[in-house]
A and B are shown apart, each in its own frame.
Chain A
Amino acid sequence: MTIKVSMKVNGKAASAEVEARTLLVTLIRENLRLTGTHVGCDTAQCGACTVLMNGKAIKSCSIVAMQAEGAEIMTIEGVARPDGSLHPMQAAFKENHGLQCGFCTPGMVMNALDFARSHPNPTEQEVRESLEGNLCRCTGYHNIVKSIMAGAKAMGGKI
């Protein structure tokens, strides 16, 4: 048995027929084919699936699609400007070499967007604490921390 769920994804109306057990991340990746949101674990630890739901960073592997009924979702595909130029947080990751293999990166950026809104000028310690729920195996976090500090400044508290 399937159920129809509807939501706004990256500013556009989206709907899909899903099972009750279908996770939001599955809807995003499989039904909407937005594959920038990744799955890196099955215990809500790694944060690769992080998206914004009604402006808040959430792990899309940890809620079922139906819970997002009527919500506004932003995925990594919706972050860059309409002309394709990078958002200041994305640009900060590029400038500071805050990514290597790129797999955790979308989750890092989405989490950072939410964090930076309330922390326009964060300390290193605050940034490291904000990354509690996002794992990276490539960068040793050094340049991710630098990227988020720079990106937050550039954002000035606004997504």
Chain B
Amino acid sequence: MSTSLIGARVQRKEDYRFLTGAGQYTDDVELPHQSYAAFVRSPHAHAVLKKVNIEKAKKAPGVLAVYTGTDLANAKVGGLPCGWLITDVKGQPMKEPPYPPLAQGKVRHVGERVAVVIAETLAQARDAAELVEVDYQVLPAVVDAAKASKGPKLHDIAPDNTCYVWALGDKAAVDAAFAKAAHVTRLDLVNNRLIPNAIEPRSANAVYSRAGDDYTLYVASQNPHVERLLMTAFVLGLPESKVRVVAPDVGGGFGSKIYLYPEDVVVTWASKQLNRAVKWTAERSESFLSDAHGRDHVTTAELALDKDGKFLAMRVQTTANLGAYLSTFASCIPTILYATLLAGQYTTPLIYCEVTSVFTNTAPVDAYRGAGRPEATYVVERLVETAAREMKLDPVEIRRRNFIRQFPYQTPVALQYDTGDYDATLDAVLKLADVAGFPSRKQQSLKSGKLRGIGYACYIEACGIAPSNVAGSLGARAGLFEAGEIRVHPTGTVTVFTGSHSHGQGHETTFAQVVAERLGLPMEAVEIVHGDTSKVLFGMGTYGSRSIAVGGTAIVKALDKIVAKGKKIAAHLMEAAESDIEYDKGVFKVAGTDKKKMFGEVAFAAYVPHNYPLDKLEPGLNENAFYDPANFTFPAGSYVCEVEVDKETGATTIAAFTAVDDFGRIINPMIVEGQVHGGLAQGIGQALTEGCRYEDSGQLVTGSFLDYCIPRAGDVPSFKLDTRETACTHNPLGVKGCGEAGAIGAPAAVMNAITDALGVKDLPMPATAQTVWRSMHKAA
């Protein structure tokens, strides 16, 4: 092969099936003799379950069973576990209330599952679910994070609805620095609550086999092995060997499909009770009510500066809404993945962050694209831009005065950045966005009745959370490695098994590029398999932009073992010393000679070992590897957003959005650009259109696509993108990850632009036409 596959815009292997309707998502899976589940959900945000009468429903046509929380408790089905233990400021463990798959005694949010009806057809199950009579004693509810500690108590274990108060940093030193500061910028910020809304709703289809006393669960999941581990070890008390979890084609996740959900547990358990396959697919309204939501922070943030605009210290106080129950990774998002990012790209020497995480009568809140890092970036970049305006400094210049330029760099908030070049991405974005031409564009806009503003965001993110032992010391209850296996077939083609999961990211292409390049094989000779616990040896799945950096590296480690064994075989075949064998582009050669063996010949010898060192070497060519990274990776970039605000209506449009990112080495630029586009759209959605709202009573006001506006094609512009590259120093591919960047950097850039256009200090997200109009009229 003459040109490298690394860095090539290879078209995706997965596209053909998706474009011809041949993809297989969970709801497309039809199991023999399958039955259908419908969940009875609480219409109240907070209520005592006085009585659940299932008699009428049980007698309805086609109904096979109706189960309630009592049935699950009697069967010793456990509650859903939380994967991260946070220790509070007093050294006490966080409050972990039980999270039963079906409500027991009380319901704590609208949409919580009270009972499940299983019937021969979906229509019968839904009809019968209407016949379940629930006697609720309605209790007062609390939905706002800021009001939670004084609100009605959700869980006995947490009388003030507080899960934990957690802090990071040296408070006394930070306070002392503020006391001496020439200038202090202060902002009260709300990071608006979001509903992820992958277009494929969650779905699960489970079947039990008496023959093997085992289960198979098809589920729309980002991490089938984690789903299995949590379900078997903590909830159903089964050996993992008895449960196969398959996450087939999955229609987007964005975090919301990381978690173990009650519906997955219930259909799996019920499949044995009924000895039938049991299928459930969420309606969109169920997704709105019961998928894990994201963000929802209320924050006071302060930045202390000297007279030259140099950052001296940052002080941040955040209240984070966890919702009614602790979702799988809820506890670590507003802490470990938030406060640690508050240094941003800057040398701020002292940072203190205190986080109070609270329970409210709302759906559980967990990781959503970016997970803590968008919230941190919003705090840092809104503060920096506001400080520049207050001190009459250029927002670009104030950033340059504070950039980190020496690596590795130890931040005051635990992370050590391995590499980066923040001037390079900033220089590039200023040029690409033609920032110099902004004043004339502003004049142009004014002529047509539009206010034009420009905003910047220079973000940092931490991807591929690791290493496991450090995470463990911070409370992680799981490992953070990834597994990979290379199976070379006798004819020299290769199947790769990865514990990463692809639900839009294109692993089947990107990972194949890495393998094909390393082994010197054509792309067609490499198949990538993921998403099935019966095929893949193990995996931690896909989240936190970890797939290429962690999953890709596990594959590379396994490839190294393949080549090492191949050299032994080739040495035998060519009667040479192993140390003299070189491997290059699919050929084993004896150094300094013209003797060579093709990869396929060596593979064949391994499986037909007639001429083979059987006394020294096992036959076969199949290797696996587990890779636990030494550190996070640290993608970073600079974004520039220009907005136009209609003076009459307040309607805001993104006039231009320019992003320059440093993702380290890039395997497939086409796929990477697509990831950035999608992230930017979600970040712009957070800033302009998306805002989850609950009434004070706990009713979800934004419960459909009619009320909750994810961006449409007309809401976002075409994006201008470029990249700069500093290779990650601690993985062999030099890669960092790109999945979340757009969603992390965009909200601050957009809001900095709108506040610039309006000349106001702050504005809440989403900056809808109404919000902007009100701001303009108060200001006027």
Contacts and interface: CB of A to CB of B under 8 A. Distances in A.
Interface string B160-177: 000000000000000000
A139 B678 contact: yes
A132 B20 contact: no
B706 A35 contact: no
B656 to A, nearest CB: 13
Contacts of B199: 38, 40, 46, 48, 101, 103-104, 135-138
Contact of B30 (A33, A42, A97, A139): A33
Contacts of A142: 674, 677, 716, 718-719
B736 to A, nearest CB: 20
B252 interface: yes
A132 to B, nearest CB: 6
A72 interface: no
- Which among A36, A43, A100, A106 has the highest number of chain B CB atoms within 10 Å? A100
A103 B25 contact: yes
Interface string A68-111: 00000001110110001010001001110101111111100100
A17 interface: no
Contacts of A140: 677-682, 711, 716, 719, 742
Contact of B674 (A45, A131, A143, A145): A143
Contacts of A102: 14-15, 17-19, 23, 249, 251, 504
Nearest to B707: A43
A100 B19 contact: no
Contacts of A94: 11-12, 15-16, 19
A128 interface: yes
A109 B714 contact: no
Contacts of B252: 100-101, 103, 137-138
Contacts of A141: 677, 681, 711-713, 716
B89 interface: no
Nearest to A76: B21
A75 B19 CA distance: 11
Nearest to B23: A102
B505 interface: yes
Interface string A117-152: 000000010011101101111111111110000000
Contact of B284 (A40, A109, A137, A138): A40
B705 A95 contact: no
Contacts of A144: 713
Contacts of B673: 97, 143
A16 interface: no
A97 B671 contact: yes
Contacts of B718: 124, 142, 145
Interface residues of B, number: 58
B284 A41 contact: yes
Interface string A42-68: 110110100000000000000000000
A27 to B, nearest CB: 13
Given A100-B252, A137-B678, A77 B123 contact: no
B20 A100 contact: no
B503 interface: yes
B506 interface: yes
Contact of A103 (B22, B200, B711): B200
A39 B718 CA distance: 27
Interface in B13-61: 14-25, 27-28, 30
Given A19-B123, A46-B199, A35 B24 contact: yes
Contacts of A80: 19-20
A3 B197 CA distance: 35
- Which among A36, A46, A79, A142 has the highest number of chain B CB atoms within 10 Å? A142
Nearest to B196: A137
Contacts of A77: 20-22
A109 B283 CA distance: 23
B714 A137 contact: no
Contacts of B603: none
B705 A97 contact: no
Contacts of A40: 199-201, 251, 284
A7 interface: no
Interface in A10-49: 19, 21, 29, 33-43, 45-46, 48
B674 A100 contact: yes
Interface string B120-146: 000100000000000000000000000
Contact of A145 (B201, B250, B713): B713
Nearest to A22: B123
Nearest to B681: A140
Nearest to A34: B21
B66 interface: no
Contacts of B716: 140-142
B251 A38 contact: yes
Contacts of A38: 25, 27, 199-200, 251
A109 to B, nearest CB: 7
A72 B17 CA distance: 24
Contacts of B674: 97, 100, 138-139, 142-143
B254 interface: yes
A86 B670 CA distance: 20
A142 B719 CA distance: 7
A101 to B, nearest CB: 3
B514 interface: no
Contact of B705 (A33, A43, A129, A145): A43
Contact of A93 (B15, B251, B714): B15
Contacts of B719: 140, 142
A29 B203 CA distance: 15
B682 A137 contact: yes
A128 B15 contact: no
Nearest to A93: B19
Contacts of A29: 28
- Which among B20, B198, B200, B201 has the highest number of chain A CB atoms within 10 Å? B20
B20 A41 contact: no
B5 interface: no
Interface in B208-237: none
B251 A135 contact: no
Contacts of B20: 36, 76-77, 79-80, 84, 86, 90
Given A95-B11, A100-B252, A128-B714, A137 B198 contact: yes
- Which among B19, B198, B679 has the highest number of chain A CB atoms within 10 Å? B19
B114 interface: no
B300 interface: no
A99 B281 CA distance: 23
Interface in B244-291: 249-252, 254, 281, 283-285
Contacts of A33: 30
A44 B268 CA distance: 31
- 3 closest A-B pairs by CB: A36-B21, A102-B18, A103-B251
Given A101-B252, A124-B718, 14 more contacts: A35-B21, A38-B27, A38-B251, A41-B284, A77-B22, A86-B19, A97-B670, A101-B200, A101-B504, A109-B19, A136-B199, A139-B677, A140-B679, A141-B711
Interface of B: 11-12, 14-25, 27-28, 30, 123, 197-201, 249-252, 254, 281, 283-285, 503-506, 670-671, 673-674, 677-682, 704-706, 710-714, 716, 718-719, 742
26 contacts: A40-B251, A42-B284, A46-B284, A77-B22, A80-B20, A84-B20, A86-B16, A93-B19, A99-B19, A100-B674, A101-B249, A101-B250, A102-B18, A103-B23, A103-B200, A105-B19, A128-B713, A135-B710, A137-B254, A137-B678, A138-B674, A140-B678, A140-B681, A142-B674, A143-B677, A145-B718
